[in-house]
């Protein structure tokens, strides 16, 4: 039997080179080096450089490291919103981003789409007073993806507002234009195929200026992970705290491997694998895609309704060593979720599609 493969939407399968990089890191005792050493600074620099190249992040845009994407929700609100943010909500993760703003005492309005859909661009109406617009480009809970053109059109309509984009379960697949939006972020256990415990925050100068202006007005913007603190240390290729050194090392290496493979190849393969998976779901008598409008169907998290208890299907696939996700929250027993990340090879996805056909 084939080895166990995690098609779960996060944590998910490790990128195939992680094992060797992890062995090498242990051999070099990377987890023991000082985060104030030259050795760490060069790992940090390699990681930022590889990320910038892979994700086509312009030189003037900053990349910082945090503990998770959940942390970045909080940091964006603390650093970039004085009074009011506005949220496009289409699932559990975007709802949590909105709640975070409320918990931090901000006024936070939202427009919510029914689960399985996205708010249509022409229905996006943003209060004059909102300072930041939050999108979740790929809702991992529902498999609904907001087309990038919707996000760009919203920014064009409201150029003075900051636009934040959660791309946790869609990078490196999605070709995000970092010159248009102001900030985006992800954690590494989804599309990058790495162990959890590292968040990556991509930030332009406007966000830094906003954080500084809030600080000058006497607002608290947090403590060790404020944008000015991250920038100050980042200039020296360091972090304010003792970071996940192993995680940063592994991310640098995996980004290097992805660069050698080529981002265009990764994107083409993702499209091909998504087509194979949607085909398998459309052909199956008991499955239908949760996101019915194909314009909003995620390529990286495929969600299907199941006619009968989804756990039965999940269990049968598990017996074949293929681990797929259950539905999220209240959809636990009525849906399946399948991750289609760069770590999942074409062969693995084809095998999964064959097994789905036989269910
Ligand atoms: C997983 C996920 C998060 C949270 O990531 P953590 O690493 O658990 O903090 C946020 N947004 C989306 C869309 C996600 O899929």
pLDDT string in tens for the chain (359-residue length):
678 999 999 999 999 999 999 999 999 999 999 999 999 999 999 999 999 999 999 999 999 999 999 999 999 999 999 999 999 999 999 999 999 999 999 999 999 999 999 999 889 999 999 999 999 999 999 999 999 999 999 999 999 999 999 999 999 999 999 999 999 999 999 999 999 999 999 999 999 999 999 999 999 999 999 999 999 999 999 999 999 999 999 999 999 999 999 999 999 999 999 999 999 999 999 999 999 999 999 999 999 999 999 999 999 999 999 999 999 999 999 999 999 999 999 999 999 999 999 99
Neighbouring CB atoms inside 10 A of 178's CB total 20
pLDDT score at 3: 87
* Cα 102 from Cα 77, distance rounded (Å): 10
Q: Which residues pair with 172 in a beta bridge?
A: none
Which atom of ligand 1 lies nearest, measured to the CA of 139? 13
Residue 289's nearest CA partner among 210, 279, 314 is: 279
Residue 225: burial class (beta carbons within 10 Å; 0-12, 13-18, 19+): buried
User: 1 and 320 in contact (C-beta within 8 Å)?
Assistant: yes
With residue 108 as reference, give the H or E element that holds it. strand 107-112
pLDDT score at 2: 74
HSE-CB at 280 with a 13 A cutoff on CA atoms is 22
Distance 139 CA to ligand 1 centre (A): 9
**Alpha carbon of residue 273 to chain centroid:** 19
Distance 70 CA to ligand 1 centre (A): 6
Instruction: Name every protein residue with a CB atom under 6 angstroms from any ligand 1 atom.
Output: 10, 68-70, 93, 136, 140, 166, 168-169, 187, 196
Pairing mode, strands 335-339 and 287-289: unpaired
């Amino acid at each position: 039997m084939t080895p166990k493969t995690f098609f779960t939407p996060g944590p998910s399968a490790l990128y195939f080179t992680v094992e060797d990089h992890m062995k090498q890191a242990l051999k070099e005792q990377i987890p023991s080096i000082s985060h104030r050493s030259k050795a760490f600074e060069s790992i940090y620099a390699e990681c930022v450089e590889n990320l910038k190249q892979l994700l086509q992040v312009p030189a003037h845009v900053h990349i910082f490291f945090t503990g998770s994407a959940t942390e970045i929700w909080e940091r964006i609100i603390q650093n970039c919103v004085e009074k009011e943010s506005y949220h496009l909500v289409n699932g559990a993760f975007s709802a949590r981003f909105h709640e975070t703003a409320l918990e931090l005492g901000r006024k936070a309005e939202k427009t919510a789409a029914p689960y399985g859909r996205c708010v249509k661009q022409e229905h996006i109406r943003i209060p004059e007073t909102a300072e930041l617009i939050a999108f979740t480009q790929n809702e991992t809970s529902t498999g609904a993806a907001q087309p990038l053109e919707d996000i760009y059109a919203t920014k064009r309509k409201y150029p003075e507002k900051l636009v934040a984009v959660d791309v946790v379960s869609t990078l490196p697949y999605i070709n995000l234009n970092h010159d248009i939006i102001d900030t985006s972020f992800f954690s590494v256990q989804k599309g990058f195929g790495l162990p959890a415990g590292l968040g990556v925050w991509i930030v332009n100068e406007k966000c830094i200026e906003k954080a500084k202006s809030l600080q000058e007005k006497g607002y608290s913007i947090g403590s060790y992970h404020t944008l000015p603190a991250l920038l100050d240390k980042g200039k020296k290729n360091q972090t304010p705290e003792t970071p996940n050194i192993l995680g940063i090392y592994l991310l640098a290496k995996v980004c290097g491997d992805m660069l050698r493979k080529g981002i265009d190849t990764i994107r083409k393969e993702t499209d091909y694998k998504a087509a194979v998976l949607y085909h398998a779901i459309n052909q199956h008598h008991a499955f239908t895609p949760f996101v019915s409008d194909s314009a909003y169907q995620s390529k990286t998290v495929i969600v299907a309704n199941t006619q009968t208890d989804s756990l039965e299907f999940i269990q049968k696939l598990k017996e074949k060593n293929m681990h797929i996700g259950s539905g999220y929250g209240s959809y636990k027993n009525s849906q399946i979720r399948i991750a289609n990340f760069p770590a999942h090879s074409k062969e693995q996805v084809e095998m999964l599609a064959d097994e789905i056909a036989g269910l």
